[in-house]
Amino acid sequence: MLTDLELVSLSVPAQIERTLEALIAHHGVADATVGLARKHYEQRRGNVHQDEELWEIWSAGFVEWLVIECTTVSDEPSLALAAARRWLGEGAARAAHVATALAHSHRSLFEIIAMRDGRVELLDLLGGAAFAVVEPRSLVGVELGDVAELRLVGLDDDVYFAKTFVYHPKAARDDIVARAQAVLSDGGLRQDAVDSIAVLRAYVPRYRHLPPARVYKMGNKLS
């Protein structure tokens, strides 16, 4: 059981990370069900093999998606909401609050437009909304104009990062937006658009003879 005593002494970003770790460690889903969920995840986002450079990022993204977004492994809409209800019944109100915030988090494609005063300012490339995310740490190697798939968590009147960070080539920004908007215009959900772009990101290491932005431009012509 995740207790409020474990959380209250931590910073809010650390509370989010600790709660996410608890959700992942105690999801209580059978291995066979996890395996089916992984296949579904890879069908949406591309299959990355263990010897490829994106393996750890894809695997971390999968377990986060499993407990936050996957709708086929729990009687609740998500494992995070199921855990929130359980923790609330056990008297762990803060843990339940953080888990609920994770369940309602916002995963999208963003452009980094400013970094100052302990905040990262983002533009949602799919919805157009602007966000100022609390981030006291220095994001090594991150530059203005970078494009990334991120998960944002609204908690205590502020916005924080979860653990999903998938960076895309900055030069591919316009092609990314065009392809994602095409998915949305065809009736797809935001998650569908984000995952369709992730498929192209998985192609980049396999087509090293092409400039990364070219991979996004060619899109469905690659396999």
Q: What angle do CA 97, 153, 146 make, to 5 degrees?
A: 170
Are 112 and 49 within one domain? no
Domain boundary among 68, 103, 138: 103
Are 99 and 112 within one domain? no
Domain boundary among 71, 103, 135: 103
Q: Which two tokens stand for residue 35?
A: 């395996």
DSSP 204: G
> What's the pLDDT tens digit per position in 98-133?
999 999 999 999 999 999 989 999 999 999 999 999
Are 52 and 31 within one domain? yes
> What's the pLDDT tens digit per position in 9-27?
999 999 999 999 999 998 8
CATH for 151: 2.40.50.140
Q: What angle do CA 127, 132, 134 make, to 5 degrees?
A: 135
Domain boundary among 135, 152, 169: 169
Whether 67 has a pLDDT exceeding 90, the answer reads yes
Check: CB of residue 200 under 8 Å from CB of residue 216. yes
> What's the pLDDT tens digit per position in 69-93?
998 887 778 999 999 999 999 999 9
Check: CB of residue 164 under 8 Å from CB of residue 151. yes
pLDDT of residue 223: 63
- What is the per-residue burial (b if ≥16 Cβ within 10 Å, else e) of 120-137? bbbbbbbeeeebebbbee
Whether 59 has a pLDDT exceeding 90, the answer reads yes
Task: Tell me the pLDDT band of 138, cut-offs 50, 70 and 90.
Answer: confident
pLDDT of residue 144: 94
Are 165 and 181 within one domain? no
Domain tally for the chain? 3
> What's the pLDDT tens digit per position in 43-57?
999 889 999 999 999
Domain enclosing residue 186, as ranges: 171-221
**Which has more pLDDT, 140 or 185?**
185
> What's the pLDDT tens digit per position in 146-183?
999 999 999 999 999 998 899 999 999 999 999 999 99
Are 20 and 81 within one domain? yes
Mean pLDDT for all residues in the chain: 92
Q: What is the bridge-based pairing of β-strands 119-124 and 158-168?
A: unpaired
Whether 198 has a pLDDT exceeding 90, the answer reads yes
Are 38 and 129 within one domain? no
Q: Which two tokens stand for residue 191?
A: 């998650």
